[in-house]
Amino acid sequence: MLNHSKIKKAVTGILSTALLASSFTSIGAGTAVSAADDHNYAEALALSMYFYDANACGTGITDGPLTWRGDCHTYDQEASLSSAINFDSSAKSLVDPDGDGKVDLSGGYHDAGDHIKFNVTIGFSMTGLAMSDYLNPGAYEKAGCRDHLIANLRRGADYLMKTTFLNESGDVKTICYLVSDESDHAFWSAPETQTHNRPTYWLTSSKNNSVFCGEMASALAGTALILKESDPEYAAECAKYAKAIHKFGNAHTGNMTDGQGSMYSTDAMYQDEMAIAEFFLWQLGEGSKPSYTPTGNGCYNNTYYDYYLFCWDKVWAGYSTLMYKATGDSAFAKEMEFGLNNMGGCPTSSYNAAGWGASRYNCALQMVALGLANGDANSNYAKGAKFQMDHILGNNSRGYSFLIGYGDKWPTHIHHRAANPGNGNQSAADNPDSKYVLYGALIGGDDSSGNYEDHTNHYQFTEPALDYNACFALACAGLVNLYGGDSGATEEVINSASEINADYKFASDTDPIPPSESDDILYGDANCDGEVNMADAVIIMQSIACPDLYGIDGSDNSHITAQGQKNADVSGNNDGVTNKDALAIQKYKLNLITELPEK
């Protein structure tokens, strides 16, 4: 459960204000425990990538990076349109070309300790990961986890594109922005076992939320920039969707909030999200330099904002940090300084954090401070960020690392249904001890006054979320570049952790195509005749309906050869040859989609 904006809007001024009841165990503000050695930022960054595997949804999870996670919510592949909320019936032929009343919305990431899939937090988190790589070139290579970063970005981008439906002109017709809602919170169980109804919510031209569009566009454009050199074809697809969503969000402005409930709310200002999307498109060569420039403290283009820190619906601080990195324009540095100072800064002697999920806000401050440090490890900005991160990683009164699995002591009552499902009859209120170590998850942790309680149901302290880890990566990647770390230590953790599949190999950045696929794939050509046509769809359906005659057994004597099987897997699910592949080929030949594999 998250309650981002509701809490953050109540927190103004300096973050060091204590928010929580004095009945919780507390220490004096600024108290810290000194560590004998520096923390290993490379190890921390690498471990943080595993949280995304813990929150992965759909298929391709079983036998993946984590031993305890498996495919889940696979029935999202057949989400009913009859109960879709705000669905535009004029989009039905595009969304549901076979007319069965269902749409495939599988994949993506759960938002937090629950199992909602929300495009704005997925978009923010993927944007944050892309920013962390852009702002800190080489950090992921030093930490030995760039392949993992790329895998996480691709899963997020795949889902954002899958839930966006473009018409024949390449414009957005509709977007499914939310799968499941607050009703999800009634089920305290692992996602692999859940079968409850998961409603879907849609954006249309008349019911739009431009913040959502901006976050999605920036995520896809940022992913495209990171993958532009190593996988130009995939990057081009991401950029195509980014431009279409950016156009849609600007053309049909709105702040529609259906399905958000009490957990989420968005600021009506959407220009900041659009600015980051424009920044990445500009860096890709797909647009002009963003026109948003600082025109006074807490002001862009003579429009004021509340100079709040970087979070999933207020991202001006991220935009200014990116622009300062790209241009060196001191106007952006001054705006960064103004925002940082108004949030209490990054002191070198006391921890500055408050609010719901305080650690992610602290990491957001570190991002700005590290941007202002501009590579100078001896600057007070850099030293302040280091002090703040060291507190999160264990230099605090309890000796806890609030990045789970890092160090030798961390909280054990985590508000996360997958890692902590209880014994089958327990709920969060029963405070069960976590069944699995949730490696790499940043939880809310303590605040400036030391308030913290290790209780499963006190989710403001013990819940992780996608946006938390994005902010962590933004801070930690900068510290890797400034202060280093031992990437070899990560291997020791992986090899000793029963929760991590030490034998799992991510596709490298320079070879993003899985090794099981050949270089000469002609997607859609199931009969290997050198063309893609309806005959290929027919062969696929025949092989499934009559396996004895046309069976897909991989031998050269079968109706579909081993190469044909690879060519035929085009539905975008990477789940082998199914009727969905035949449908994708038909959609391609009818010009309902423009490319195979289907995105």
Please identify every residue annotated as catalytic: 415, 454, 463
- Round to whole Å and give the CA distance between 53 and 434: 17
| Spatial distance between the Cα atoms of 163 and 309, rounded to a whole number of angstroms | 29
**Which of helix, strand or coil describes residue 90?**
helix
Cα 566 from Cα 422, distance rounded (Å): 41
- Round to whole Å and give the CA distance between 90 and 237: 25
DSSP annotation string for 332-365: HHHHHHHHHHHTT---SSS----STTHHHHHHHH
Q: d(Cα 328, Cα 45) in Å, to the nearest integer?
A: 27
- In this structure, what is the dihedral angle of CA atoms 274, 279, 280, 284, given to the nearest 10 degrees? 130
CB neighbours of residue 313 within 10 Å:
27
Measure the N-to-C terminal CA separation of the chain; round to a whole number of Å: 30
Q: How far is Cα 198 from Cα 188, in angstroms, rounded to an integer?
A: 15
Backbone φ and ψ of 144, nearest 5°: 70, 30
Q: At what angle do helices 316-327 and 330-342 cross, to 10 degrees?
A: 150
Alpha-carbon distance of 250 to 272, in angstroms, equals 12
Cβ pair 227, 150 in contact under 8 A: yes
Percent of residues in the chain assigned helix, strand, coil, to nearest 5: 40, 5, 50
For 446, list phi and psi in degrees, rounded to 5.
-90, 175
Torsion-angle region of 288 (φ positive above 0: left; ψ -120 to 50: alpha; else: beta): beta
Q: Rounded to whole angstroms, how far apart are CA atoms 588 and 140? A: 37
Q: What does the CA dihedral 171, 75, 513, 53 come to, rounded to 10 degrees?
A: 110
> How open is the CA angle 52-57-59, to the nearest 5 degrees?
115
Collapsing DSSP to helix, strand or coil, 164 comes out as: strand
